[in-house]
Chain A
Amino acid sequence: EAAVTQSPRNKVTVTGGNVTLSCRQTNSHNYMYWYRQDTGHGLRLIHYSYGAGNLQIGDVPDGYKATRTTQEDFFLLLELASPSQTSLYFCASSFQNQAPLFGEGTRLSVL
């Protein structure tokens, strides 16, 4: 069964902290995405990738790095976390021209 798995599901850190959010897909999809979801904004694209080693900038990339280490794994890095990055983060994967399949989300709180 197609799946996108995010870890951790919940994370609390302090301002200035270092956070890595992980995403793994077992669907052989070439595209992977990181979105953030905030009240009043819907989901906004942070970064995406179309294959291992590739990274594309999304619509709200400031303060975030990302790395696609394999076809399956896509990581979102917050090297100096700020309270404005408190959000619900979704990872997704797809083939081109296919509706993305989403994970269950990671809730991040930056105190």
Chain B
Amino acid sequence: GDSVTQTEGQVTVSESKSLIINCTYSATSIGYPNLFWYVRYPGEGLQLLLKVITAGQKGSSRGFEATYNKEATSFHLQKASVQESDSAVYYCALSDRMGYKLTFGTGTSLLVDP
């Protein structure tokens, strides 16, 4: 089946430092999935952070970026300079081209030290 792998369960970064959260996927039944990053701030529901549906394209939102790398089957999330308010749990996800059923990774908890 299809799957999403986030290797880091928890990441701690000092404020103003750069961040990368790794995400790789396997989409054997889909072949060409849509890719997403969702974020869950403490006490809140999941919010869509960014979505990319075309290989090679980059999505960006709130200073975060992610590039759809079809060859590497990756969709890593990056930010050049994190803020304490970025502390949250980040989920990578994929869907098929119909675009509604999501398969999620296990999430990466980001803690930004002030």
A interface, CB within 8 angstroms of B: 4, 31, 33, 35, 40-45, 48, 58, 90, 92, 94, 96-105
Contact = CB atoms under 8 A, between A and B. Distances in A.
B101 A45 contact: yes
Given A102-B46, A103-B45, A42 B99 contact: no
Given A42-B4, A42-B91, A100 B102 contact: yes
Interface of B: 4, 6, 36, 38, 43-48, 51, 91, 93, 97-102, 104-107
A4 B45 CA distance: 10
Given A42-B4, A43-B91, A105-B45, A100 B104 contact: no
B45 A97 contact: no
Contact of A90 (B45, B51, B107): B45
B45 A96 contact: no
Given A43-B91, A43-B102, A45-B102, A99 B51 contact: yes
Secondary structure type dominating chain A contacts: strand
A100 B104 CA distance: 12
A21 to B, nearest CB: 14
8 contacts: A42-B104, A58-B101, A94-B100, A96-B99, A97-B99, A102-B45, A103-B45, A104-B45
Contacts of B99: 96-99
B4 A31 contact: no
B58 to A, nearest CB: 17
Of B4, B45, B93, most A-chain CB atoms within 10 Å: B45
Shortest 6 CB-CB distances between A and B: which pairs? Answer: A97-B99, A42-B104, A104-B45, A102-B46, A43-B104, A42-B106
